[in-house]
Amino acid sequence: MRTLAPLVLALVLAACSDSAKKENIEPPTPLADFESRASIERLWSSSLGDGAASTGANLAPAFAGGRVFAAGLDAGLVAFDASNGKRLWSQEIEGLTGGPGASLTIVVVGSIEGDVYAFDPETGESRWQARVSSEVISAPAIDDNLVVVVANDGRTHALDARDGKQLWAVDRGVPALSLRGNSVPIISGDRVIVASANGKITSLARDDGRVLWEQVVGVAEGRTDLERMIDVDGRIAVQRGDVFVAGYESTAQALTSDGGRTLWTRELSSVAGLAAGDDAVFVVATNGELWALDRRTGGSLWKIDILAHRMLSAPALIGDYVVVGDLEGYLHVVERSSGELVARTQVGDAGFGDGLIVADGVLYAQNKDGALGAFRIQ
């Protein structure tokens, strides 16, 4: 299987066709002046040294038990006090490419060789080490005694959180050519929701990995592998019993979690993915448009294009706002109800990938050069 990092993909597409060229060599939209109507308070910041830019992995922070866990190629895995950014412990990990995932009892990361490492969240002591079928370049999902890891060869592995023993593995396959990245799986009740590079989203039984349902997000079209890419690599969401997903060169969809029945579908291509709130779903389109869709119907609530071609991150929801990061390290705060830009700040000068999370009313942002910050938005 061959994989393409997003920036390489843009350059290749630009050389492949007139339509692709028009879409992918557009320069980033210049940042315009605006009237600030919200405040961004930086609570603390830190550096993890070299981030994930050189590997193509999306290293995002995780939160559990009053601690923030973040990973970098230089720093390894680091635990911070979420209240003040104090470093509590760190672990050097060779070839780190995926994670972290965290719970109250365990912190897990993955490596380029397919090694999965688990640590005690309080002390940083090693709990166990396991190996999966190939490289791990997304965060594991953790819930109670289950750790779910998606390997880059398309296999989903379920591990016992107590000792790392493999409980089951499912191979959904990957196409000959795909984007470099994997969507983070979601453990939801008795199901595991997994999106894949073959353009499908699958619900697996938590206890044994059997397929409960599978839905097509995009249908491959074209004569070449490049034209037929339909990856679902971005962030997916489960909200109020429904599953929300968007894929590259495919669609945005809402599905029932119990049977995978389609509630609505929109023609909308996305690499970064989406975030779902009580009333709206926010999707970052491949061209950098930010869409707000009605959660129940998929109808358009608003769309903004002032951040077009700025390689936006997956969106994060905090209070009345939706936040996205861009390729120059800016965080853009948009009002959820209106789509108006209300605040902006910068975290370093590199993009974010999937590096935004919200916990206890605080936004934690990590860019691809390893800059990490905690922010309160009001």
- Encode pLDDT of 324-374 as tens digits: 999 999 999 999 999 999 999 999 888 987 889 999 999 999 998 889 999
Q: How many CB atoms lie within 10 A of CB 319?
A: 15
| Peptide bond preceding 6 in cis form (omega within 30 of 0) | no
DSSP character string of 257-291: TTT--EEEEEE---SSEEEE-SSEEEEE-TTS-EE
CATH of domain 2-377: 2.130.10.10
Q: How far is CA 373 from the centre of its chain?
A: 17
Q: SS3 of 205, please?
A: strand
- Encode pLDDT of 60-86 as tens digits: 999 999 999 999 888 899 999 999 999
Question: Which pLDDT does position 226 carry in this prediction?
Answer: 46
Q: Which residues of 82-98 are buried (b: 16+ CB within 10 A; e: fewer)?
A: beeeeeebbbebeebbb
Tokens 């989406």 sit on residue: 274
76, 96 Cβ separation under 8 angstroms = yes
Question: Which pLDDT does position 285 carry in this prediction?
Answer: 95
CA distances from 208 to 191, 193, 273 (A): 10, 13, 28
Question: Which pLDDT does position 18 carry in this prediction?
Answer: 37
Tokens of 163: 């000792």
Strand partners, 195: 201
Sign of CA dihedral 338, 339, 344, 347: positive
State the average pLDDT over residues 79-106: 95
The proportion of the chain whose per-residue pLDDT surpasses 90, expressed as a percent, equals: 71
